[in-house]
A and B are shown apart, each in its own frame.
Chain A
Amino acid sequence: MRETIRMTPEAQQMKQLIAELIRRPNLVIDENTALVSSGLIDSMALVDLLVKLEDITHMRIPPGKVQPKDMDTIALMFATAQRVGKPRK
């Protein structure tokens, strides 16, 4: 519960999308919940997370610079956007 309170509004938005994608209302996820490596999110859903991440951060995340492991947790997603994101044209 504490984790949820500490989440930024951006992370909360991402968490909401993930909850919609995995459709498992009883599952509690936080910023460090493994999503891809645990099998909760499959490769074909990664694009939805990337598009959302680009929207939230106002960055473009170029292909070739991001791997599924960079999207495994909410915390990693935002770190990835910081690391490889380019300002939107």
Chain B
Amino acid sequence: MKQWHTLVDALNAAPGDRPFVTSWIDDDEQDEVTFAEFRRRARVHASLLLDQGVAAGDRVVIVMPQGIAAMTVFAGAMMLGAVPAILAYPNFKIEPAKYSSGLAGVAANLAARVVVIDEEFPEDLLGHVSLHDSSRLIRAGRASDGGSESELPVAGIRPDGLAFIQHSAGTTGLQKGVALTHETVLTQVGHLARALQIDGAIDRIYSWLPLYHDMGLIACFILPMVCHVPLVMQSPLDWVMHPDTMLQVISDYRCTLAWLPNFAFQFVPRRTPRERWPQFDLSSMRALINCSEPVRASSMEEFLQAFAAIGLKRNALQSSYAMAENVFAVTQSDINDPGGPKCIWADSMRFRSEHRVATVPQGTPGAMSFASSGRLLPNHVVRIVSDNGEILPECAVGEIHVKSDCLFEGYYNRPDLTASVLTAGWYHTGDLGFQMAGELYVVGRKKDLLIVGGENLYPQDIEEIVAGHPAIHDGRVVALGMYNPNLGTEDIVVVGEVEREETLVDAAEIERELRSRVVAAMGVAVRTIILKPPKWIIKSTAGKPSRSGTREKLVHEHPEFDV
């Protein structure tokens, strides 16, 4: 891959007649743009932003549905040297007031010059949008039918200038805008392109991943833009409601690369009627990369067993460990290894009690398996650290710290949050893992982040909503992610103490109310709500609810969660 100075240079160098983005909606409805048409639409949007006074360095918040228009606004902002950030589009479950306050918070933190919404943005949400004093709300069309392009100023974009900001999900996550420079992003894309041996003239990426998430934004928009790879994408909602369309799109377009969170490896085979499997052909796939949730060997094996008969090769199944703070990937499995990612078996007792991985032969009773996330990308270093800061040897489980040449420099406008995770160039990921024979294995989260269907959710956000109910003892709520083997992802389980034990007779009604409050505020459904009498939740020495203590007690009383 050529060394570009900026992302805009890379886009401008793409062959104009090569297809770039195909937005797949249905058999009879697709929108496809070449690189030349993508650039033209981006310039139309850049002109619109310019008319609104957007200049180099200004932040541009984009709240548009998944599709070409959101991407061309993003690229248009970068052409001006402005700094775009894509946020999640409101889903209908979220209450307008809750959504708007979140949006206003981000726009204020970024001090965004403009917030760009699409022409169909719901009116009821619009009424609630209150923005930062200097932010303006504008609607962008699709720019598909012409549109005026004024002369764009020479932006003078510098490689060390900010390119864009990416967020993790949730109210808490929205305060963490990961600010990235052009050269940082290009460094990451270069590493990844070499590790995956990407060739824009041959490869084609499939994606349903949301653009407000690093896996969707970097792997399935920025990487193909820089490496000039055609991309076929659909909206996450269309995919989740019709998971078999992923197989159809890969077959029809002969896609070669895709990234998926772990749960999708189970969800697609289980939710695609078996009689439809023979209609599809996955032989074109050379890397289907499991990323963003801890990798489970069983989920990948299930996918392989289902689809080997329709051409899926074992070595097409790959894994990676990635995070927004490192632009994206830290590790990548070896795509030339015919066996796919390494998988080891370990003694579960020693793992739980000594936090060490002692390998045992596959099939040993009580053994647990771990799938590797692969090897470190070049110029990446990882250390495994204990709770008291000691650097741990190979096979010991501790927090993963990362240092690399594409690490972020900080959260936008939040030096306090930056200081809590970045020390002497090491990023404290909050993930737990271990190293063995040059491979990194990720086993879970230290920070109690819930990863549901590949989305990051902060338990504090859910706990705050539940604790706001009058029947619940304030502050006595714990939200946990419990692995659901049937779904291959975590379920949200909430344990709350009632204020008075006698209210437990109304548990069903309270539970119903809590469920709708969480969904209205966050757009996600809680799988299980468990109401307990006062003093049930385990407290830490600081007097706060202890997540780990409460988890243990819950598993003890409800063995169905112990998987």
B519 interfacial contact with A, CB 8 Å:
yes
Residues on B with C-beta less than 8 A from A40 are 515, 525
A-B contact count (CB 8 A): 75
Majority SS of interface residues in chain A? loop
Q: Closest approach, in angstroms, between the C-beta of B91 and any C-beta of chain A?
A: 7
Shortest C-beta distance, B428 to chain A (Å), equals 31
A7 within 8 Å of B (CB atoms): no
Q: How far is the CA of A37 from the CA of B93 in the complex (A)?
A: 5
Cross-chain contact B241 with A68 (CB below 8 angstroms): yes
Alpha-carbon separation in the docked complex, A51 to B241 (Å):
9
Q: Contact string, B448-479, partner A, CB cutoff 8 A, digits 1/0?
A: 00000100000000000000000000000000
Interface pair A63/B26, CB less than 8 Å apart:
yes
Kindly identify which residue among A26, A43, A48 contacts B237, using a CB–CB cutoff of 8 Å.
Answer: A43
Q: How far is the CA of A40 from the CA of B91 in the complex (A)?
A: 16
Question: What bracket does the count of chain A residues touching chain B fall in?
Answer: 20 to 34
Q: Cβ of A69: which chain B residues have Cβ within 8 Å of it?
A: 92
Name the B residues within 8 Å of A39 (CB-CB).
93, 515-516, 518-519, 525-526
* Chain A hits for B234, CB < 8 A: 63-64
Q: Is A56 an interface residue (CB 8 A)?
A: no
Chain B residues with CB under 8 A of A37: 92-93, 516, 519-520
Chain B proximity mask over A22-36: 1 for CB below 8 Å, otherwise 0: 000011000000001
Instruction: Tell me the B508-540 residues at the A interface (CB within 8 Å).
Output: 508, 512, 515-516, 518-520, 524-527
Cα–Cα distance between A50 and B243 once the two chains are bound (Å): 11
A27: which B residues are within 8 A, CB to CB? 508, 512
- What is the distance, in angstroms, from A20's C-beta to the closest C-beta of chain B? 14
B127 contacts A by Cβ under 8 Å = no
CB pair A67 B92 closer than 8 Å? yes
Q: How far is A58 from B83 in the complex, measured between Cα atoms in Å? A: 49
- A59 located at the interface, meaning its Cβ lies under 8 Å from any Cβ of chain B in the complex: no
Q: Does B271 contact A (CB under 8 A)?
A: yes
Interchain CB contact under 8 A, A63 and B245: yes
> Could you say which residues of chain A place their CB within 8 Å of the CB of B526?
39
| Interface residues in B, total, Cβ within 8 A | 34
Contact B453 A43 (CB under 8 A): yes
Question: With an 8 A cutoff between CB atoms, is A1 at the interface?
Answer: no
Measured in the bound complex, the distance between the Cα atoms of B511 and A27 in whole Å is: 11
A46 to B242, CA, bound (A): 9
B273 at the interface (CB under 8 A from A): yes
Check B240 against A43 for contact (C-beta < 8 Å): yes
Given contacts A37-B92, A63-B25, A63-B234, contact A50 B241 (CB under 8 A): yes
Decide if B557 is an interface residue (CB 8 Å cutoff): no
Residue of B nearest to A62 (CB): B26
Q: When the two chains form the complex, which single residue of A42, A47, A64, A65 contacts B525, counting CB atoms closer than 8 Å?
A: A42
B523 to chain A, nearest CB (A): 9
CA A65 to CA B28, docked complex, whole Å: 12
Give the Cβ gap from A24 to chain B, nearest Cβ, in Å: 8
Closest A residue to B242 by beta carbon equals: A63
- Asked if A41 contacts B93 (CB within 8 A), the reply is no
Contacts of A36 in B (CB 8 A): 93
**Is A44 in contact with B487, judged by CB distance below 8 angstroms?**
yes
Is A8 at the interface (CB under 8 A from chain B)?
A: no
- B223-261 interface (Cβ within 8 A of A): 234-235, 237-243, 245
B267 at the interface (CB under 8 A from A): yes
Docked Cα-Cα span, A37 to B524, in Å, equals 9
- Do B240 and A46 touch across chains, with their CB atoms under 8 A apart? yes
Chain B residues, Cβ within 8 Å of A46: 240-241
**Closest B residue by C-beta to A41:** B525
Cβ of B27 < 8 Å from any Cβ of A? yes
Complex CA distance for A27 and B516, rounded to whole angstroms: 15
| Interchain nearest-CB distance for B73 vs A (Å) | 21
B29 at the interface (CB under 8 A from A): yes
**Complex CA–CA separation, A42 to B524 (angstroms):** 7
Of B91, B453, B520, most buried by chain A (CB within 10 Å of CB) is B91
Q: Check B516 against A38 for contact (C-beta < 8 Å).
A: yes
Is A66 at the interface (CB under 8 A from chain B)?
A: yes
A85 to B526 Cα, complex, angstroms: 31
- A55's nearest neighbour on chain B, judged by CB, is B273
A-chain residues with CB within 8 Å of residue B518 when the two chains form the complex: 39
CB within 8 Å of A: which of B1-50?
25-27, 29
The closest CB in chain B to the CB of A67 belongs to B237
Q: Which of B29, B241, B273 contacts A66 (CB 8 A)?
A: B241
B271→A47 contact, CB < 8 A: yes
Give chain A interface residues in 38-89, CB to chain B under 8 Å. Answer: 38-44, 46-48, 50-51, 62-69, 71
Would you give the shortest CB distance from A35 to chain B, in whole angstroms? 10
**Given A47-B241, A51-B271, A66-B241, list of 10 further CB < 8 A pairs?**
A26-B508, A27-B508, A37-B520, A38-B515, A39-B518, A47-B243, A63-B26, A64-B29, A65-B26, A67-B237
27 chain-A/chain-B pairs, Cβ below 8 angstroms: A27-B508, A27-B512, A37-B519, A37-B520, A39-B93, A39-B516, A40-B525, A43-B241, A44-B240, A46-B240, A47-B271, A50-B242, A51-B271, A62-B26, A63-B25, A63-B26, A63-B238, A63-B241, A64-B235, A64-B238, A65-B26, A67-B92, A68-B91, A68-B93, A68-B237, A68-B241, A71-B241
**4 nearest A-B residue pairs (beta carbon):** A64-B25, A39-B519, A42-B525, A39-B515
